[in-house]
Amino acid sequence: MISAKSLVVALVAVVFCGASFAQGPTDTTFARDSVQIRQVFDEVLMHAQAHENLRHLCKEIGHRLSGSKSAQQAMDWGLDVLRDHGADTTYIMPVEVPSWTRGSVADAHAILPNGQDMALHITALGGSDPTPAGETIEGPLLVVRHLDALDTLDATGHIVLFNRAMDPLLINTGAAYGGAYDQRGNGAVAAAKAGAVGVLVRSLTHALDTLPHTGSMRYAEDVSRIPAAALSTVDASALSKAYAQARERDQTVVVRMRMDCADLGKVMQGNVIGEWRGSTHPNEIITLGGHLDSWDIGEGAHDDGSGVVHTLEALRALRAIGYTPHRTLRFVLFINEENGNRGGKKYAEMAASEHEAGLRHVAAMESDAGGFVPRGVRMDGPDLQVAMVRSWAPTLEPYNLHYFGRGGAGVDIGPLKTLEPRPLLVGLVPDGQRYFDLHHSSQDVWENVHKRELELGAATCATMLMLLDQHLPSPSN
């Protein structure tokens, strides 16, 4: 039942936002969408369970590193919440994931030419080997900005610091992060090829603080594996300055580091899935999801506990307003996004098999950019479908949703690009200016997620899911 209040709000929205629409059916569609969107936002802003669900996930379960016991606990919890929120069917899609532990030791010091001992704030990069036998390694420091600088340098016996900051001139902080990622992802390989015994990487954040930010790294089969750690931005700047001053005097800075992280092999975990069967096109699937796993030095509140509870709240809110989906809506809590994306890849494999069996994945949406205030969406997909979503701008403008860009919809749904016909992929875009201050750090905790901003994101996800369900053209037509 549509409340009188919601109807009045919708009619006001039509008057102020619908002037550019042609008279006729478009006006009717705009009015209907406006009423339903208002219902969604009213429901979420008045009755949301997202913030409490996030508190439970972060405080009662904690971090959810793939392969850990807490990740398994989170899977069980997610399955229960999907059932409670109204999924018709719930199940676990098995996924083999890596199990790795950070250990309890991550210690580093720089010895300056004058004998001063500079303590360094480090943490192991995800998947790093420990220092040999967990003992301290030592070597002269070599500071570079780019990986290819090592192509002409002999780093034998050195500990290399990659000290290239995220580009401050890029307004899109995600682009700045991507532009600096290579030194974290591939730095250990580049340094080892040049003969280094260890590597430090400037934390990927604009923040100037003493918090190291972890993240994934990789090794190559034909290159020696050396320990790799993230270094805080304050320490990276100070160490680079000391290195430059020492070089001017033909002196050396020595770094000592010790870590006891360990590879524990592989374990079976899985994607947590809830389905709500469609009424008219049940064989067409629209997915909404976030990743359940997180790094282990915080609580994974923004990355990606927020996306998890956005997904759960979208199901709850649409059920609460009495919405009847046309397509089958699938709610997915992906595993192992942080250090392998095995959950996203496995989901795409299943989707390919489902396509062969007559099920069609027509769209997928992901929330994996934090619980900050939403600004719009990014899209990967056919031009006509992108144009369709952009045509909703007047309907979404009252909710300050104004960004409708292309590219980078999400890591977990990205593998679905290989499906034919290709589904429309959509990624939630919150305001990202503060995201990397917290990302992959000890400060990514529940207290640093704003309740209202989190709820606005959940309402936006529910709204986009509803509009996609109603307006996407059916491939069966």
CA-closest candidate to residue 428, choices 294, 344, 272, 314:
314
Backbone phi and psi for residue 350, each to the nearest 5 degrees, phi listed first: -65, -40
Find out whether 78 and 292 touch, Cβ atoms under 8 Å.
Answer: yes
Per-residue pLDDT of the chain (477 residues; tens, 9 = 90+): 444 444 434 433 433 343 333 333 467 888 899 999 999 999 999 999 999 999 999 999 999 999 999 999 999 999 999 999 999 999 999 999 999 999 999 999 999 999 999 999 999 999 999 999 989 999 999 999 999 999 999 999 999 999 999 999 999 999 999 999 999 999 999 999 999 999 999 999 999 999 999 999 999 999 999 999 999 999 999 999 999 999 999 999 999 999 999 999 999 999 999 999 999 999 999 999 999 999 999 999 999 999 999 999 999 999 999 999 999 999 999 999 999 999 999 999 999 999 999 999 999 999 999 999 999 999 999 999 999 999 999 999 999 999 999 999 999 999 999 999 999 999 999 999 999 999 999 999 999 999 999 999 999 999 999 999 999 987 755
Coil, strand or helix at 304:
helix
Across 308-401, the runs of DSSP E, i.e. the strands, are 327-334, 360-366, 374-380
Q: Is 225 left (phi over 0), alpha (psi -120 to 50) or beta?
A: beta
CA-closest candidate to residue 206, choices 181, 176, 249, 185:
176
Coil, strand or helix at 337:
coil
Q: Which residue is associated with the tokens 């649409």?
A: 318
Find out whether 106 and 259 touch, Cβ atoms under 8 Å.
Answer: yes
Backbone phi and psi for residue 106, each to the nearest 5 degrees, phi listed first: -150, 95
* E strand or H helix that includes residue 254: strand 254-259
Cis peptide before 304 (omega within 30 of 0): yes
**Buried b / exposed e across 375-393, counting CB within 10 Å, b at 16+?**
bbbbbbbeeebbebbeebe
Q: How many residues does the chain have?
A: 477
Sheet holding 117-120, edge to edge: 117-120, 106-111, 254-259, 137-144, 159-162, 198-202, 228-231, 122-124
Coil, strand or helix at 141:
strand
Q: What is the DSSP letter of 398?
A: G
Determine how many CB atoms are found less than 10 A away from the CB of residue 165: 17
CA-closest candidate to residue 81, choices 273, 296, 324:
273
The structural domains of the chain, with segments of one domain joined by +, span: 4-99+265-471, 103-260
Distance CA 224, CA 125 (A): 16
Give CA 165 to chain center in angstroms: 21
Q: Is 150 exposed, middle or buried (0-12, 13-18, 19+ CB in 10 A)?
A: buried
Q: Is 289 exposed, middle or buried (0-12, 13-18, 19+ CB in 10 A)?
A: buried
The answer to whether domain 103-260 has CATH 3.50.30.30 is yes
The answer to whether domain 4-99+265-471 has CATH 3.40.50.10860 is no
Determine how many CB atoms are found less than 10 A away from the CB of residue 463: 27
Find out whether 102 and 205 touch, Cβ atoms under 8 Å.
Answer: no
